[in-house]
Amino acid sequence: MNKFAYTTGQTTPYYLRKIKQITLPFIFAGLFSTPLASLAEEIPPTTIRLAHVVNEKDTYHIAAERFQKLVSEHTNGAVTIEIYPNASLGDERTLLEGMQIGTVDMGVITNGPVANFVDEFSVFELPFLFPTSEAAYSVLDGEIGQEILDKLQGANLKGLAYAERGFRNITNSRNEVNVPADLDGLTLRVIQNEVYVDTFRELGANAVPMAWTEALTALQQGTIDGQENPVNAIHAFSLAETQNYLTMTRHIYAPAIFIMSLPAWNGLQEELQQIVLEAAQEASSYAREQNATMETMQLAELREAGMQINDSPNIEAFQAAVAPVYEQYGKQFGDYLPRIQEALK
């Protein structure tokens, strides 16, 4: 652990105490409209560790690198973001727990695991809730999304911005999937979240919740038949090597979230908080743009790698099959589901 990382029992490390002692000649005036002209001269070198669980080809890493660049530019290099990809600091639950106690500073985390810490995040992942990416953005970036993001503070976490995992699709190694009945007998890895588990059980699959790092090994060994993820992840992890079939169900829109340890956030001076916040927002927007730009190319490369892609499954059949999920979970999220549904009209 480097000297800037948090340790249990040390809620404000040296570099954050130092920041608090400094009065900066800077007034924030909009999204990076004014850089911190003399910050580098007044603050000793500062390192913040940001972790995620995917590889360097994934849009999580693209978002993290964009964030890293923006923070460096707008603090004149005084604040360095150290990126730890490939679950090198642990799976997503471990990262979130580390942020709670201050052993991890930041992460880009999939929405599903976040919902295990704040229930309301699961409302975003009810199946077939969002018809388009733009519809999802309108909710996430609006009043509802901010309200739910703010609830992370009750879990000793600070939500900064909604990046993107994207619309999830089904892959498997055994057979083409066009209707829910085609999932009968298939063992599929799902995110460790009860909404995912119950959604796929309603669809007829044997849903097995597990961390992504474990899923990759299980796919290679053939102990599970398939999984569900957005195209960007299917491509980044070369799943065509183990998965013969991709079905574009777009069954769940999954945000990703820039999250910071609340002790780390509280230790930052207000001007630095604003820079970190707006860098996360801009990096998230950039990640969304990259997802949209790259998907056509990624699908073409998956086809070239031998994956059979079903672009037009029977979505109506899938929607009908997951109706019980709404009956089971709809009231669990208070008024958020009806508010989202009203906002989408």
The CATH superfamily assigned to 14-165+255-290 is Bacterial extracellular solute-binding protein, family 7 (3.40.190.170)
pLDDT for residue 27: 30
* Beta-bridge mates of residue 167: 253
Q: How far apart are CA 200 and CA 112, in angstroms?
A: 14
Give the tens place of pLDDT for each residue, 109-145.
999 899 999 999 999 999 999 999 999 999 999 999 9
Mean pLDDT of the chain: 88
Give the pLDDT score at 18.
34
Q: Any residues with CB less than 8 A from the CB of 282 and at least 6 apart, and which?
A: 31, 32, 66, 70
What pLDDT score does 42 carry? 62
In the chain, domain spans: 14-165+255-290, 169-253+295-343
Strands 106-110 and 253-261: antiparallel
Which class is 169-253+295-343 in CATH? alpha beta
Q: What is the mean pLDDT of residues 198-215?
A: 95
Partners of 13 in the β-ladder: none
Q: What is the pLDDT of residues 278-317, one digit of tens each?
A: 999 999 999 999 999 999 999 999 999 999 999 999 999 9
Rounded Cα distance between 119 and 135, Å, is 21
Structure tokens at 29: 């005036």
pLDDT of amino acid 32: 55
Same CATH fold, 169-253+295-343 and 14-165+255-290? yes
* pLDDT tens figures, 218-276: 999 999 999 999 999 999 999 999 999 999 999 999 999 999 999 999 999 888 999 99
Q: What is the pLDDT of residue 330?
A: 86
Cβ burial 217-233 (10 Å sphere, 16+ → b, else e)? ebbeeeebbbbbbbbbb
DSSP-based three-state secondary structure for 197: helix
Cβ 157 vs Cβ 100: under 8 Å: yes
Closest CA to 140 of 121, 153, 158, 157: 121
Residue 280: CA atoms inside 13 Å, Cβ hemisphere, count? 25
SS3 259: strand
Sign of the torsion formed by the C-alpha atoms of 193, 127, 58 and 152: negative
pLDDT per residue as tens digits for the range 16-43: 333 333 323 333 334 554 444 445 456 5
